[in-house]
Amino acid sequence: MFMLLIGLLTLSCLPRSVPCGCFDDRDALLYRVDITLPPKEGRDETADILQIKAKVEGLTDIKVIFSFKEIGNPKVLLVLNLEKACSWPQLTTFLSRKGYEVKTTPVYRCSDYARELGVNVSRDIYEMSLEDDEHLLLAKQTCHVKDLTTPEFDEKMRQMFERDVGIVKAGHRAACFRTLASLPVELMHFAPLGPQKMEAGVSILRGPETFDLEITRIQNLDSYVGGCQ
């Protein structure tokens, strides 16, 4: 399992903007949505999160790719495909009325990013379904430009993605997205992980590469029923 994450998370990152026209319209409407429930007297955190869960399940013209609850914190993370721009209000109006803190970030698939670099990968190389996994992690990698030239970044990225393709084809599962921005480059990875492997995994993933790494335990929102975690 960690062979895949090591490959993904030790990627050096290319300081390039995303050229217009590289992706179809649906790709331009992929978003990560972070929802935080701020402290409030009398707030029933479980009830509020279950309301978010019900709202997400009832969205129209918005495809929910992922919906997660951060373990131990009152936070929900969504990855959405916004099929129609005018569909936002059904979600944003609800969240605003509830007084939640919301951050929205446009993203696109790492497979598209790899193909932009010239790597021959299929668009669905990274798994888009993790519903059956109870223990998951979110690994956020922030890459900073150091002393490498653009061609050096290009070559390093190509080599790493090519290695990852082999690892994925060997049966390891993960989903990967890149933030739609030039610098710093941010990659986020979702992958199944047993809790007993967390400590060892974090130690391995913090390699000598020039990036900041943040690991968060998450669970599928569909499986959230409240109570102690």
What is this structure's pTM? 0.80
Question: One digit per residue, pLDDT tens: the chain, 229 residues?
Answer: 444 444 444 433 433 433 333 334 434 589 999 999 998 888 899 999 999 999 999 999 999 999 999 999 999 999 999 888 788 999 999 999 999 999 999 999 989 988 998 988 888 887 667 776 667 889 888 777 678 788 877 777 787 778 777 777 777 778 889 998 877 778 888 888 754 444 444 444 444 466 778 889 999 998 888 765 5
The DSSP code sequence of the chain is -HHHHHHHHT------PPPTTSS-TTGGGEEEEEEE----TT--HHHHHHHHHHHHHT-SSEEEEEEEEETTSSEEEEEEEESSGGGTHHHHHHHHHHT-EEEEEEEEEHHHHHHHTT----TT-S----TT-SSEEEEEEEE---S--HHHHHHHHHHHHHHHHHHHHTT---EEEEESSSSSEEEEEEEE--GGGHHHHHHHHS-SSSEEEEEEEEEEGGG---S--
Structural domains of the chain in order of their starting residue, each with its CATH number: 2-24+109-223 (3.30.70), 27-108 (3.30.70.1060)
